[in-house]
Chain A
Amino acid sequence: MGEALALAISLVASGDADLAEIVALSLRVSLSATLLAAAIGLPLGALVAVGRFPGRGAVLVAMNALMGLPPVVVGLVVYLHLSRAGPLGFLGLLYTPWAMILAQTILIAPIVAALARQVIEDLHAEYRDQFRSLCLSRGQVIGALLWDARLSLMTVGLAGFGRAVAEVGAVMIVGGNIDHLTRVMTTAIALETSRGDLPLALALGIVLLVIALGVNAAVQTLHTRAARSGAHV
């Protein structure tokens, strides 16, 4: 453990170019997936939170169940679609970062939607009478709720990002762990583990942890600043 920590520090301190490339790709892929998942999951969660429609119960159950999707299954399904032999093979996306973004988006969009649904439903309970008194349209209600819940929804986004950046099963299958092309932190850790270089694998794990901490700290700072200016009072 001590050896791994020392190795992690020296890797970062030496500005290892390969490590920087892998870290940058991890962040790009997982942040892009988080933004895409938010673009899909937030409106969907809000719609289910405020809407009353037939089959809503089934949608709720499905959303909550999909939160537990195994990454490997997502990877496999995306692989089968993006493979040259699959229906989307002509796009040539397999073994590119796009495939990884797609897989992670599918993986975390249900998480974002399900958690956002809960946040928005709670807020809507508080706002409902006021909004009905103002005769707002459904779109206006959803827009106002999403904006007013923005700080809680940032935490929802973080939960999604955390799952995306930590998963290995999906990106390994659809990215292929290709050096300088699709290798990210988690697949690099898996590779070093299979090479038996456990200290290096652990050191990379420590770097990944620090990155996750950094992203969380950045969002927390934003959170605090916004809260101080009254967004969450």
Chain B
Amino acid sequence: MPNTFARTAAIAALLAGAASGALAQEDNGSILVQSTTSTANSGLYDYLLPLFEDETGITVNVVAVGTGQAIENARNCDGDVLLVHAKPAEEKFVEDGFGTERTDLMYNDFVIVGPEADPAGLDGMAVVEDALALLAERSATFASRGDDSGTHKKELSLWSEAGIDPAAGSGDWYRETGSGMGATLNAAIGMGAYTMTDRATWISFENKQDYEIFVEGDDALFNQYGVIPVSPEACPSVNAEGAQTFANWLLSAEGQTAIGDFVVDGQQLFFPNAPEDDTAS
């Protein structure tokens, strides 16, 4: 009987050993991207990365979190490249010496979605400020990310431009989920609330139920993504060469074309807009 047990213990120990053997991972040819969730959740990386990896042999690992957390992680040197969408915060990151250079990479736009019944009557509104004013006036339930992400920062700036302080309705009609875009969409749908999302996440989101887009196309809803290699001066541990190679490839004609080629359900999710001189390199 003790034999049976000892044998089992030995097998368990072997298993653990096998686990540790298989876990050894430190590849010089890999980089870590701290990314916003919309690019990862929409499947963009699943499409782009194999192209890049085939060409360069560099493995790209992606940690997808909100823009605020991604920038914070990169400030802790836990990443080689930053790919997010909150321009002022990105510029501050570079100014503070954590990034070598910020470059526009691509864009899409934000949309405001809500239940088909449209209780606030947003249908047909072209100006986002008016739409937000209407939401506040009617105290229509609105789900905010509330997580310091790029989308959240954008949403707050839109309320501010509309001259509204949504915090006054916090917990009442203004509901801050403190979660990612997907979780916030699920929550909004669960409580019949309006919410603002980037178009890429919305198109690839599979739990839309009876939700549809009510406000889109306003220039104020423009959503710019940027790419920043993390500075080896601030973070000596980074794979600076790999990071630069990745950024250059994304900004090259080939990378830009690949971004434009990525479609979900026949719709293009991201529109490349790297500066011309970069696409040339």
Q: Residues of A contacting B162 with CB < 8 Å?
A: none
Asked if A122 is at the interface of the complex by the 8 Å CB criterion, the answer is no
The stretch from B9-17, B150-158, B165-173, B241-249 touching chain A is B9-17
In the complex with contacts A96-B25, A198-B207, A229-B4, A181-B61 CB distance below 8 A? yes
Interface size class of B (residues with CB under 8 A): 35 or more
B63 touches A28 (CB 8 A): no
Asked if B160 is at the interface of the complex by the 8 Å CB criterion, the answer is no
Asked if B20 is at the interface of the complex by the 8 Å CB criterion, the answer is yes
Q: Residues of B contacting A85 with CB < 8 Å?
A: 75-78
Restricting to B48-82, which residues have a CB under 8 Å from any CB of A?
Answer: 61-64, 73, 75-78
Q: Residues of B contacting A29 with CB < 8 Å?
A: 19
B16 touches A229 (CB 8 A): no
Residues of A within 8 Å of B, CB-based: how many?
A: 37
| Most chain B beta-carbon neighbours within 10 Å: one of A35, A86, A191, A195 | A195
**CA A98 to CA B22, docked complex, whole Å:** 11
Chain B: minimal CB distance from A20 (Å)? 13
Q: Residues of A contacting B26 with CB < 8 Å?
A: 92
**CA A92 to CA B80, docked complex, whole Å:** 13
Chain A: minimal CB distance from B207 (Å)? 3
Restricting to B175-226, which residues have a CB under 8 Å from any CB of A?
Answer: 180-183, 185-186, 204-208
Asked if B280 is at the interface of the complex by the 8 Å CB criterion, the answer is no
Q: Which 3 A-B pairs have the closest CB atoms?
A: A194-B182, A196-B207, A84-B77
Residue positions of A touching B, CB distance < 8 A:
28-29, 31-32, 35, 83-86, 89-90, 92, 94-98, 101, 150, 176-179, 181, 191, 193-198, 222, 225-226, 229-231
